[in-house]
């Protein structure tokens, strides 16, 4: 891993529609200063409104991950955040003119192409990372997610669907920008035809189509061109894990194992990480080295709010916002 933080070289723009809202959206990604992190801005909202891509800003995890500040929200953040995290981009400002990130083709692939077109720019500040030193886990019903100590970032996803095409699938990656772009970024979100019809009756998935999702019925995949990978379903689960865990605000060192997990479990794991200050340390990468210079950060817990320790060391804590829809 490069020890230095990165942003993008130049501003880039794309257009699309929101998966759930069905509304057109224009999204622009701009370079940002070192140590500023990833921040979203809504250009359609009066006044200044910046929403840091940080876990304490998550307001909804049903069907997608939504972050917000006051009454202003940005939905379906996970695919774009996965692209930024997967390519090692630490700092960027994302501006959009509505309340949902465009779904593009249902994967992170188009965002990877866009970011590669801009290019990465190395910055002077060194990266800080969360290195897990003890097992941390969260379980809710059949779904679980846990993380073990590991010198690097390894992600394993396991799924189990009662469908002849999907059944049980498992996949593991050693996270690097090259592996992410080659094996994970193009895996699309998926759903079952019967569920999509129900969602639309309830005013959701209004922008969904075979152009931006894999749709399955009792016979198989409805998309004309079929699957991009034989195990595209589990690969997309890894994509979601990467995108959601980007909301920790720092790159992660550990082996994440997600079994039948979703956005809600991902958020709860982040809260467990923040609460378990005995199970991780904040480290700084040495200059021109792949080894670590460990710096344990002393933090205090706030009663009833287990994720406060991370906030104490993250620039999102000090964001100056005045958001009103």
What is the CATH number for 93?
Answer: 3.30.1700.10
In three-state secondary structure terms, 240 is helix
pTM here is 0.90
Is 41 in contact with 55 (CB distance < 8 Å)?
no
Pairing of strands 136-140, 190-192: unpaired
CA atoms within 13 A on the CB side of 268: 15
pLDDT tens sequence across 114-168: 999 999 999 999 999 999 999 999 999 899 999 999 999 999 999 999 999 999 9
> Locate tokens 């865990």: which residue?
245
Catalogue the active-site residues: 263
Q: Is residue 324 part of a domain?
A: no
Do the domain assignments include residue 85?
Answer: yes
CA pair distance 299, 164, nearest whole angstrom: 49
Return the number of other C-beta atoms located less than 10 Å from residue 275's C-beta: 17
Contacts of residue 111, Cβ cutoff 8 Å, sequence gap at least 6: 14, 79, 80, 83, 84, 104, 185
**Binning pLDDT at 50, 70 and 90, where does residue 305 land?**
very low
Is residue 325 in some structural domain? no
For the chain, count helices (H), then strands (E): 7, 20
- Note the pLDDT tens digit of each residue in 60-107: 998 899 999 989 999 999 999 999 999 999 999 999 999 999 999 999
Confidence of residue 304 (pLDDT cuts 50, 70, 90): very low
Banded pLDDT at 9 (limits 50, 70, 90): very high
Maximal C-alpha separation, the chain: 56
Number of domains in the chain: 1
Whether 239 and 79 have beta carbons less than 8 Å apart is answered as: yes
With DSSP H G I counted as helix, E B as strand and the rest as coil, what are the percentages for the chain, rounded to 5? 25, 35, 40
Question: Would residue 18 count as lying in a domain?
Answer: yes
| CA–CA–CA angle 186, 241, 224 (5° rounding) | 30
Identify whether 181 is part of a domain: yes
CA 272 to chain centre: 17
315 phi, psi to nearest 5 deg:
-60, -20
* 66-69/72-74 β-pairing: antiparallel
Tell me the pLDDT tens digit for each residue of 185-215: 999 999 898 888 787 777 767 788 889 999 9
- Among 193-207, 208-222, 293-307, 311-325, the least confident range: 293-307
Q: Is 55 left (phi over 0), alpha (psi -120 to 50) or beta?
A: alpha
* H helix intervals, the chain: 78-86, 109-118, 177-179, 193-201, 232-245, 263-275, 308-311
User: 323 in a domain, yes or no?
Assistant: no
d(CA 313, CA 298) in angstroms, rounded, equals 10
Note whether 324 and 47 are within 8 A (CB).
yes
Residues 6 or more apart in contact with residue 92 via CB below 8 angstroms: 7, 8, 29, 30, 31, 32, 38, 39, 84
Measured distance CA(259)–CA(41) in Å, rounded = 33
Domain ranges, residue 118: 4-318
- Closest-CA residue to 108 (of 216, 212, 28): 212
- Classify residue 267: in a domain, yes or no: yes
Residue 202 lies inside a defined structural domain of this protein: yes
Flag whether pLDDT at 309 surpasses 60: no
């Amino acid at each position: 891993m490069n020890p230095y933080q990165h942003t993008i070289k130049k501003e880039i723009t794309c257009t699309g529609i929101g998966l759930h809202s069905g509304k057109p959206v224009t999204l622009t990604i701009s370079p940002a200063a070192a140590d500023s992190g990833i921040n979203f801005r809504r250009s359609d909202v009066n006044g200044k409104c910046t929403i840091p891509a940080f876990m304490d800003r998550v307001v909804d995890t049903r069907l997608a991950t939504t972050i917000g500040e006051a009454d202003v929200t940005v939905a379906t953040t996970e695919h774009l955040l996965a692209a930024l995290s997967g390519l090692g981009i630490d700092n960027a400002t994302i501006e959009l003119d509505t309340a949902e990130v465009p779904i593009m083709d249902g994967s992170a692939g188009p965002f990877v192409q866009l970011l590669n077109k801009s290019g990465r720019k190395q910055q002077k500040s060194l990266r800080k990372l969360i290195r897990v030193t003890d097992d941390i886990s969260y379980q809710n019903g059949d779904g679980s997610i846990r993380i073990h100590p590991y010198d690097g970032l390894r992600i394993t996803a396991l799924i189990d669907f009662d469908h002849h095409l999907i059944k049980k699938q498992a996949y593991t990656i050693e996270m690097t920008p090259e592996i992410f772009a080659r094996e994970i970024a193009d895996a699309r979100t998926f759903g079952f035809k019967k569920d999509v019809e129900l969602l639309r009756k309830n005013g959701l998935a209004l922008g969904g189509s075979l152009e931006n999702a894999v749709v399955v019925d009792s016979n198989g995949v409805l998309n004309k061109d079929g699957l991009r990978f034989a195990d595209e379903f589990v690969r997309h689960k890894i994509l979601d894990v990467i995108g959601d865990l980007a909301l920790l605000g720092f790159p992660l060192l550990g082996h994440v194992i997600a079994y039948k997990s979703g956005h809600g479990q991902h958020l709860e794991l982040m809260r467990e990480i923040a609460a378990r200050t005995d199970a991780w340390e904040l480290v700084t990468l040495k200059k021109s080295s792949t080894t670590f210079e460990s710096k344990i950060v002393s933090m205090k817990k706030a009663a009833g709010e287990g994720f406060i320790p991370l906030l104490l060391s993250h620039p999102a804590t000090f964001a100056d916002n005045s958001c009103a829809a």
